[in-house]
A and B are shown apart, each in its own frame.
Chain A
Amino acid sequence: MSTTTEAAATAGDPTTGGTGGKPPTRRQRQAAGIADAASVGIKVLLVKILGLGIIDALAIFGIIILLGASQWLVAAIVAAVAILVNWIYFSRRKLPAKYLTPGVIFLVVFQVFVLVYTGYIAFTNYGTGHNGSKEQAVSSLMASSLERVEDSATYPVTVVDRGGELGLLLTDPDGDALVGTATSPLEPVDAEFDGSKAVEADGWTTLSFAEVLARTDEITALAVPFSDDPNDGAVRTPDGSSAYLYVSALEYDEAAGTMTDLETGTVYSDIGTGAFTSEDGEELLPGWQIVIGFDNFVRAVTDERLAGPLLYVTLWTFAFALISVASTFFLGLFLAIVFNDMRMRGRKFYRVLIILPYAIPSFLSALVWAGMMNESFGFINQVLLGGASVPWLTDPWLAKVSVLTVNLWLGFPYMFLVCMGALQSIPDDILEAAKVDGARPWAVFRLIKLPLLLVSVAPLLIASFAFNFNNFNTIYMLTDGGPRDSNAPIPVGFTDILITMVYKVAFTGQTRDYGLASAYSILIFIIVAVISIIAFRRTKSLEELN
């Protein structure tokens, strides 16, 4: 290992010219550069230019769209990255960067950035009812409380379409044509008239009668704002041929930041919680997304109904990971010892059949086990236990045992393979020496084999712990975290581990709470980070890197 490294260090970067670590002189660098350039064929150069050209074209396309959506910062970042990439690949040096850039870009966006972004979401109230900006919340509230204005004018209307987005083309009492969509208010447009009714407008496709019928639901739900001021109301069409003016039962006062219900006179004001709230605490939803500081964390640990589940889920996560590692390791080790005897016949046969569970995709195995453990119809109760009804997956404690058993089934072949390899790599002369000194088999195992085995297997045990700590598939496919804890306000159950709880809080149930789910994620980060630091300190594996 060390000789290879030294050799690599001497050869090193081609631009160092192999002078054994001394910084190269300018002439040497030039010479290396010329040699490098001379070795590049014209085809390679063409491929390089073509590739970069495609990347640049995509970047420019992206920047144009981002600028159109007023995403200045993102556009600037994309431009900067594109320039950086061009500079790296056209430069004669920057050799390591040429090899690292492609992977690093994906790593930064989809691994590092999303972790940081999770940290940000944990400090917001993002989730059902708090999805967008305040403006979006206002227009959505106004649109949801629209009521038809009594005795208002009837507008002849034609339903039109542009790129899949529905619009209303209507003719006002003066005979002018106006067009608008759910997101853009009515504005004048050049149109062709059939009699006094505008039927076709530039850039829009008129829907035929059959198409109107087919999209009735969409059309009747469509509300086109009358103007930029949401208090002016919107036009809607109940039948696709005539439209009426609707105004909202809510009035938005932008200066005061309040919503007033015109019927009851209740004033809802923005009190900094991300929703308009009346004086007696009633909230108008949807609200909007705001930064709420440590509220999610405080809520997770102080709200009694959330703190209980968090505690038992955390404890169970540790128990699950530890017991899984221990049980799979000891069974695997035991089997490795049993089958590591040269006198035994058919060892290959046993070995192949025993590692089969490891070869099958784990989500499939877990689903099959879930079927077999079904209380009333499963194979285990019906056949193996002769018609018993043991609640394998529905009793809080038995479900835990079942999860551990299935995870043992999934995991022991891996430990078996690993221990087998480690046992066979222990040199025979050490064992022979021990025997000559009169050690008994158990002493040889305990004092020589096991310590040597642990040296090579310990890092894998840590990795296995980290893996099981977030072993989503086994839990989710087998029990779905259940049985469900009916006292908790979030969909959490007695076999949930932290990662399945994050998933369920964020993506299942009536309300999605991205903020709370991300706060739980941050908690997992912290636990994993602490364990990793301790593990790395103990194994010193980072120091061996060279």
Chain B
Amino acid sequence: MARKPVPGTQAGLVVGELEEFDEADASTRAHSALADGPVRDMPRRPFNLRRWFTETGWRHVVGIVMIAFSLFPIVFVISSSLNPNGTLTGSNALFSKIGFDSYVRILTDPQVPFTTWLGNTLMISGITALLTVFLGALAAYSFSRMRFTGRRFGLIGIVVVQMFPQLLAVVAIFLLMSAIGDLFPAIGLNTHIGLIMVYLGGALGVNTFLMYGFFNTIPVSIDEAAKIDGAGHARIFFTIVLRLVAPILAVVALLSFIASVNEFVVASVLLIDTDKQTLAVGLTKLVSNPRYADWSAFSAGAVIAALPVVALFLFLQKYIVGGLTAGAVK
């Protein structure tokens, strides 16, 4: 009993440690002080189940309910991906059978070029993310460090243009790309370069704004010092400023990467051959009729496709949350 955590305190603290904590962390305690009576009295009170429940216990109930809501589709898809035999009905008994047959099927089925789709998606999204960061950083640097005619107009223009997402103009994009494809087959309809170019049309948008805000927090005195030392604008940009803003570059790259992985409309219209398509287009077609589709193979594919994105997301979570509150939307 002696080392039992004390209810109603910072998680995990035991009685002996409480005295030091009380002084050090008084400011964070202010939050909890709102919900109940005077804080400093609490540690002295004996454990009381009812009070524990009204103060923090119900929060755990909410947490468990929400975890169930959040996780049950994820548990379902993992379970059905491990189910060796195909159909949707067969996937309903969770974890009744465990095997990697469906992973083998989705990776080797000659009818379903899953690995090609995965490669296409990673390549298209990766290149788009890199170039988006580059183009956006160039623009953000000029908006942040230079004063020129049309600067305010440019900033407002970027805000306004991003209100009209490219998918609204999908018909025009399709017709434009097929016209380009008639004359220049290498960059027109049904090419990855064409799709990447279309995606880059959206590079100066919300991303530039995120970066602009971040560039403004880098002191100009650094630029000036470098200038006095004889560095030109290009050198200042590439060797000094870009290094200092690396965190925001990572966030923008990741957000842009996820956006392209998720993009369906333009990709489905521009990429015609099955071998050229991305995961979003290919997997959607694969399960367009869930009743007849090989559901566990699809689930295996979904798990494989989601893993890298989820891993990146959780890894960069801290930065993304900062980026999100600055204006990006999924």
B-contacting residues of A (Cβ < 8 Å)?
1, 4-5, 7-9, 11-14, 16, 18, 35-36, 38-40, 44, 62, 65-66, 69, 71, 95-96, 98-100, 102-104, 106-107, 109-115, 117-118, 121, 126, 335, 338-347, 350, 352-365, 367-372, 374, 376-379, 382-383, 409-411, 413-414, 417-418, 421-422, 428, 431-432, 435, 441, 444, 456, 459-460, 463-464, 466-467, 470, 472-473, 476-477, 480, 499, 502-503, 506-507, 514, 517-518, 521, 524-525, 528-529, 532, 541-542, 545-546
Contacts and interface: CB of A to CB of B under 8 A. Distances in A.
B65 to A, nearest CB: 10
A106 B89 contact: no
Contact of A118 (B69, B171, B268, B287): B171
A464 B329 contact: yes
A521 B71 contact: no
Interface stretch (B100-108, B111-119, B172-180): B172-180
Contacts of B70: 353-354, 356-357, 409, 413
A16 to B, nearest CB: 8
A473 B264 contact: yes
Contacts of A98: 142
Interface residues of B, number: 129
Interface residue SS majority, chain A: helix
Given A342-B28, A502-B170, A364 B142 contact: no
A403 to B, nearest CB: 15
Contacts, number: 351
Interface in B139-171: 139, 141-142, 144-148, 151-152, 154-156, 159-161, 163-171
A339 B147 CA distance: 45
Interface of B: 5, 7-12, 27-35, 55-56, 59-60, 62-63, 66-67, 69-71, 73-74, 76-77, 87-89, 91-94, 135-136, 138-139, 141-142, 144-148, 151-152, 154-156, 159-161, 163-176, 182-184, 197-198, 200-204, 208, 216-217, 219-221, 223-224, 227, 230-235, 237, 258, 261-262, 264-265, 268-269, 280, 283-284, 287-288, 290-291, 295, 298-299, 302, 305-306, 309-310, 313-314, 317, 321-322, 324-325, 327, 329-330
A100 B201 contact: no
Which of the listed residues B11, B164, B235 has the most CB atoms from chain A within 10 Å of its own CB?
Answer: B164
A532 B138 contact: no
A207 to B, nearest CB: 22
Interface residue SS majority, chain B: helix
Nearest to A365: B73
B198 A341 contact: no
Contacts of A369: 73
Given A4-B217, A367-B287, A545-B159, 10 more contacts: A98-B142, A107-B161, A117-B172, A342-B31, A358-B313, A360-B74, A364-B283, A367-B284, A435-B34, A460-B325
A456 B322 CA distance: 13
Given A358-B330, A545-B155, A103 B89 contact: no
A341 B89 contact: no
